[in-house]
Structure 1
Amino acid sequence: MKQSMRILGLVLGFIFLVWSFSLVKWDSFLEAVTSVKPIWVALSAVSLFLSMRLRSIRWHMLTGLPAKDQPKVWEATCIGYLGAAIYPARAGDVMRMLRLQQLTGMGGGLAISSGVIDRILEGLGLCGLLLILLLCWRVGLEARQGLLGVAFLFLVAAVGAAVFVVSGHRLRSLFERLGLAGKWGARLKQWYEQALSGLQVLRSPRRLILALFIQGLVSLLDVLSCWFLIQAFGWALPLMAGVVVLVYIAAAASLPSSPGYVGVYQIATLFALRSYGVDDSASVAYGTTMQVLTLILFIGSGLWVSLNRRQST
């Protein structure tokens, strides 16, 4: 299964990359890249980095770990970013969960379930932004059905997670029987117990509201990052254009992806910016610039925490 997802991610990334660059006129592409204003790129990078930090705070809250473990959650998050930059099929998510388990000694079930809930919150952020577009944006959405399909899957996952937190104890007898079925059954039972116990922190309305508030800030910072980069290219587009770009990128990135989301940014921004009349070549240049900026932050943060860990040991 893992191998199939990796192959699918590589294939999709290749298709997206070829598709987007087949529409590029290289003189227009290079003209767009060379006209970028550095100050706006720097603002985009700062906004993106702040959203990365807030994501680690959100995940830390979902785990229920004590405050002193927040640096460990940040380290695990950065390792996940590094993994996403160099491995396909969202392997970074697996790496960050394993890293958090190693650093804190928490059970595998809680590490996995908290990571999944964290991603579901990310998806709910996408749903919120898509709702804003449907209510407020007067221009037709390209690939509208695909966006709605991705949002629906996240909503289903969110409902399933909520049901598990509230009523997961009803499955205890099932996992008790699985625990007697051999090594894997015992492991599944252990993960179930760890996840059910650890995720009870989400029954706190205060904690859940705070997690959703942080997700709102994350979405705002991501929108600003996209919009700042739009300003870097000199396009006089409204803030809503940043929302459109982010929705397409988030939806495309939720699919099995290639290392570093190669092809994902290009095809997402190609569809997103067409509605504003931006030339396809310039749109692909924008997506490529955003991808490079993201990779610099992902790889840089991952290497930074890895080097600091080696120096402290």
Structure 2
Amino acid sequence: MINKKNIISLIIGIVLTSIIVSIILNIIDWTETWEIIKTVSFKYLIFGCLSILASIFVRSFRWWKISTYPKKEIHLFIKAVFIGYMGNFLIPFRAGELIRIWVVYKLGNKNAIKITLLSITDRATDFLIISSIMVLIIPFVNLPDQLKPIQFFSIIVFIILISISFIGFLYKYSIKNYLNSYSKNEGKFFKLFKKLILNSIEIIETLSKAPFSFLFIFLLVALFDMLSIWFVMLSLGWSLPLISVALYLVIMSFASILPATPGYIGLYQISAIVTFGLYDIGINQAFAYSILLQGITAFSYLTFGSFALLLITPSIIKSYRGS
């Protein structure tokens, strides 16, 4: 649903993107950039696409694993996540997040609130992964003053997410008993709040039952994300320190929080210029890199997402005919 907040966010995104793009276009040498792109190794770009594909598969498995639904439903989660990423790349307001929830809710006959909370929890683990990476690389990267807020924000996010999980796990029974004691005269808001908290505790319990399995899944997500970034570097013949891969992932991830146009136009570019400028990579080289990474990301999301959409279209038609 498009409301005033979404419209304002879109306007801010368009203005922000326009400013970034206009600045970049004025400093880019298109002839040199094109010459750089022409030297690319397509072999590594293919590996980059495969890394993106693997990352989406692992994220699909993570969401399904957190949900604790039957094994036979993992295919539905995979299709929903592929379509969701395609939606995020094509539609403003990060509408892909709502689309993937709707797919699982509609075709899997799930509880809307529970599946929404599961989706939020799943996506929150991405921030935990990114903030953890930033915390780990802080000793090895001397960030300029302009990037200090990202470092500070990463630490704060990391502490908050860990604290909430830890407190929820330690006091889960006390919280449950306290909420269940208010069984009479509950208002609609309290019922919703109670359901959200109880479902959150249920998710924390699920994570705590197999902590090493989930840790391995989180590590795989980070690995495949960084592999796609690294393969594009290799396609251009770069030999930067591996820490630069993690740094770009962190900066791009936090940049994507900002209001943006579909395709995150401008955010890829400014993230590449800022990150690789720390390693004496020229603006034209960084810009060429951003175009290649954005290109294989768009290709992967649109190709795999379209295929997943084709697979579920008969089920969508059937569900509406039966309703």
Deviation at 1:257, TM superposition (A): 2.5
Is the alpha carbon distance of 1:148 and 1:198 closer, same or farther for their aligned partners in structure 2, counting shifts above 3 Å?
Answer: closer
Select 1:221's aligned residue among 202, 221, 224: 224
Summarize deviations over 1:132-163 as a string: whole Å, max 9, x none: 221223x4346322312442453335544665
Runs of 4+ in 1 over 6 A off after TM superposition: 173-176
Which amino acid in structure 2 is aligned with residue 33 of structure 1?
I
Q: Are the equivalent residues in 2 in contact too, given 1:58–1:214 (CA < 8 A)?
A: yes
Which amino acid in structure 2 is aligned with residue 193 of structure 1?
K
Q: Are the equivalent residues in 2 in contact too, given 1:142–1:271 (CA < 8 A)?
A: no
Which amino acid in structure 2 is aligned with residue 45 of structure 1?
C
Deviation at 1:311, TM superposition (A): 5.2
Equivalent residues in 2 for 1:93-108 (5 A)?
93-108=97-112
Summarize deviations over 1:241-295 as a string: whole Å, max 9, x none: 2112211111111223221111111111111100111111110111111111111
Q: Is it true that 1:276 corresponds to 2:279 in the alignment?
A: yes
Percent identity, aligned pairs only, is 23
Equivalent residues in 2 for 1:126-137 (5 A)?
126-137=130-141
| Number of aligned residue pairs | 306
Q: Is it true that 1:83 corresponds to 2:87 in the alignment?
A: yes
Select 1:37's aligned residue among 17, 26, 41: 41
Select 1:202's aligned residue among 204, 210, 218: 204
Q: Are the equivalent residues in 1 in contact too, given 2:17–2:261 (CA < 8 A)?
A: yes
Equivalent residues in 2 for 1:106-185 (5 A)?
106-137=110-141, 139-141=142-144, 143-152=146-155, 154-155=157-158, 156-157=160-161, 159-160=163-164, 163=167, 167=172, 169=176, 170-171=178-179, 180=187, 185=189
Partner of residue 303, structure 1: 306
TM-score (norm. length: structure 1): 0.88
Which consecutive residues of structure 1, in runs of 5 or more, have no partner in the other structure? Answer: none
TM-score (norm. length: structure 2): 0.85
In 2, the alpha carbon distance for the partners of 1:103 and 1:236 equals 46
Q: Are the equivalent residues in 2 in contact too, given 1:120–1:154 (CA < 8 A)?
A: no
Which structure's CA Rg is the greater one? 2
In 2, the alpha carbon distance for the partners of 1:78 and 1:110 equals 20
Equivalent residues in 2 for 1:5-16 (5 A)?
5-16=9-20
Q: What RMSD, in angstroms, separates the aligned Cα atoms of the two structures? A: 2.5
Deviation at 1:75, TM superposition (A): 1.1
Equivalent residues in 2 for 1:234-249 (5 A)?
234-249=237-252
Which amino acid in structure 1 is aligned with residue 251 of structure 2?
Y
In 1, the alpha carbon distance for the partners of 2:20 and 2:168 equals 36
In 2, the alpha carbon distance for the partners of 1:141 and 1:171 equals 47
In 2, the alpha carbon distance for the partners of 1:231 and 1:161 equals 38
Equivalent residues in 2 for 1:26-65 (5 A)?
26-65=30-69
Select 1:230's aligned residue among 233, 238, 262: 233
In 1, the alpha carbon distance for the partners of 2:61 and 2:68 equals 11
Q: Are the equivalent residues in 1 in contact too, given 2:90–2:263 (CA < 8 A)?
A: yes
Is the alpha carbon distance of 1:214 and 1:193 closer, same or farther for their aligned partners in structure 2, counting shifts above 3 Å?
Answer: same
In 1, the alpha carbon distance for the partners of 2:146 and 2:123 equals 23
Which consecutive residues of structure 2, in runs of 5 or more, have no partner in the other structure? Answer: 319-323
Q: Are the equivalent residues in 1 in contact too, given 2:135–2:155 (CA < 8 A)?
A: no
Summarize deviations over 1:86-119 as a string: whole Å, max 9, x none: 1113221122112211121221211111111112
Which amino acid in structure 1 is aligned with residue 294 of structure 2?
Q
Deviation at 1:50, TM superposition (A): 0.6
Deviation at 1:11, TM superposition (A): 2.9
SS of 2:239's partner is coil
In 2, the alpha carbon distance for the partners of 1:150 and 1:12 equals 21
